[in-house]
Amino acid sequence: MENSDYIGRFAPSPSGELHFGSLIAALGSYLQARARRGRWLVRIEDIDPPREVPGAADAILRQLEHYGLRWDGEVMWQSRRHDAYRERLAWLKAQGLCYYCTCTRARIQSVGGTYDGHCRDLQLGPENAALRLRQTRPVLGFHDRLRGDITTDEKLAREDFIIHRRDGLFAYNLAVVVDDHSQGVTEIVRGADLIEPTVRQISLYQHFGWQPPDYIHLPLALNADGNKLSKQNHAPALPTGDPRPEIVRALRFLNQAVAEEWQDLTLDALLEHAVAGWTLVNPPFSNGSR
Ligand code: GLU
Ligand code: ZN
């Protein structure tokens, strides 16, 4: 089945069960990987225990199985990857590419909300401090394989962002880059809510001397108020009954042509048809997506 070097992934945070919005990212990355005859990996991004909901990680894996989205190999758990993150932080330290910062949120707000490099040359110690990247390779934009060239806010791109938090937690941008690189991911397919941090992630690849993957940011499902479906605004968990209607709804959301009779296929056959017909078309980004 697999006969290409393509490696894709779905990387949910266990802050709640999957909802329709997360199904879009799961299904989109799955179909893209299967259509390319590549591997599709699942990684549980459990690096933020305070935001974790007990049982959510296992529930997510059961939901993926229920929706017929079978992953390759073993699930990777970020909670078991701390040594790899520490090793990368040590490397950055040895290169002089990061520094400790004790600035409060209030101080950063008072200078306009973007970090101004205040602690860059203060040689502070680790006590009560966050670790920031010394930004030497700002990335101002990137090519999205669905959306074309994207430029992001320059202040954000140039900011010395946090790679290890004051509370001891590893930052998402660090973990995601270390793991995607370590898993050999060649293309990241995820929701448009992650467009903004992408330039920071590419900049980390460049500091490490690694080849960044390709990127595709899928349209986001919005609720009736125009807000993104998320655990924070209580998007309902995916239904536990017949998964097929929800898959069809997700395919239509992704602008795939779905024949009426697909509804009556078995789940596996439905997904096979979806793989065979998969075409990533740049959607108009209207009708409740962006
Ligand atoms: N864990 C992140 C989330 O659930 C996604 C990370 C990614 O796809 O890069 O929002
Ligand atoms: Zn500072």
Distance 122 CA to ligand 1 centre (A): 33
**Ligand 1 centroid – CA 191 distance (Å):** 8
Question: Is 283 within a domain?
Answer: no
Could you give the CA distance from residue 61 to residue 76 in angstroms, rounded to a whole number? Answer: 12
Q: Are 162 and 100 in contact, with CB atoms under 8 Å apart?
A: no
Is any ligand 1 atom within 6 A of the Cβ of residue 13?
A: yes
Decide if pLDDT at 235 tops 50: yes
Residue identifier of the C-alpha nearest atom 6 of ligand 1:
11
Tally of domains in the chain:
1
Which atom belonging to ligand 1 lies closest to the Cα atom of 10? 8
pLDDT tens digits, one per residue of 58-108: 999 999 999 999 999 999 999 999 999 999 999 999 999 999 999 999 999
Contacts with 256 (C-beta within 8 Å, 6 or more apart), sequence order: 274, 277, 278, 279
Does residue 173 lie within any of the structural domains? yes
Residue 73: per-residue pLDDT: 98
Express each pLDDT in 118-169 by its tens digit. 999 999 999 999 999 999 999 999 999 999 999 989 999 999 999 999 999 9
Ligand lying closest to the C-alpha of residue 119: 2
Condensed to tens digits (0 to 9), the pLDDT of residues 209-230 reads 999 999 999 999 887 777 777 7
Please give the average per-residue pLDDT across 52-61, as a whole number. Answer: 97
| Rounded-to-integer distance, Cα 202 and Cα 251, Å | 29
Which ligand places an atom closest to the C-alpha of 26? Answer: 1
Atom in ligand 1 nearest the alpha carbon of residue 12: 4
Q: Quick one: pLDDT at residue 1?
A: 52
Domain-located, residue 1: no
* pLDDT tens track for 241-286: 999 999 999 999 999 999 989 989 999 999 999 999 999 876 544 3
Cβ–ligand 1 contact at 135 (below 6 Å) = no
Q: What confidence category does residue 4 fall into, taking pLDDT thresholds of 50, 70 and 90?
A: confident
> 138 C-alpha to center of ligand 1: Å?
22
CA neighbor of 46 nearest in space, from 3, 11, 1, 20: 11
> Which one is predicted more confidently, 2 or 128?
128
SS3 176: helix
Per-residue model confidence (pLDDT) at position 283:
57
Is the pLDDT at 170 greater than 80? The verdict is yes
In a domain, 282, yes or no: no
Q: Residue 137 belongs to a domain with what CATH number?
A: 3.40.50.620
Domain residues for the domain of 114 are 7-277
Structure confidence at residue 211 (pLDDT):
98
CB atoms within 10 A of CB 25: 24
Give the pLDDT confidence score for residue 285 in this predicted structure.
46
Is residue 290, in this structure, part of any structural domain at all? no
Q: Which atom of ligand 1 is nearest to the CA of 25?
A: 8
* Pocket lining: 251 vs ligand 1, CB cutoff 6 Å: no
Ligand nearest to the CA of 192: 1
Q: Is the CB of 60 under 6 A from ligand 1?
A: no
Residue 81's CB: how many other CB atoms inside 10 A? 19
**Is residue 208 assigned to a domain?**
yes
Query: How many whole angstroms from 86 Cα to the centroid of ligand 1?
Result: 20
Tell me if 141 is assigned to some domain: yes
Of the candidates 231, 223, 270, 229, the one whose C-alpha atom is nearest the C-alpha of residue 251 is 270
The answer to whether residue 288 is domain-embedded is no
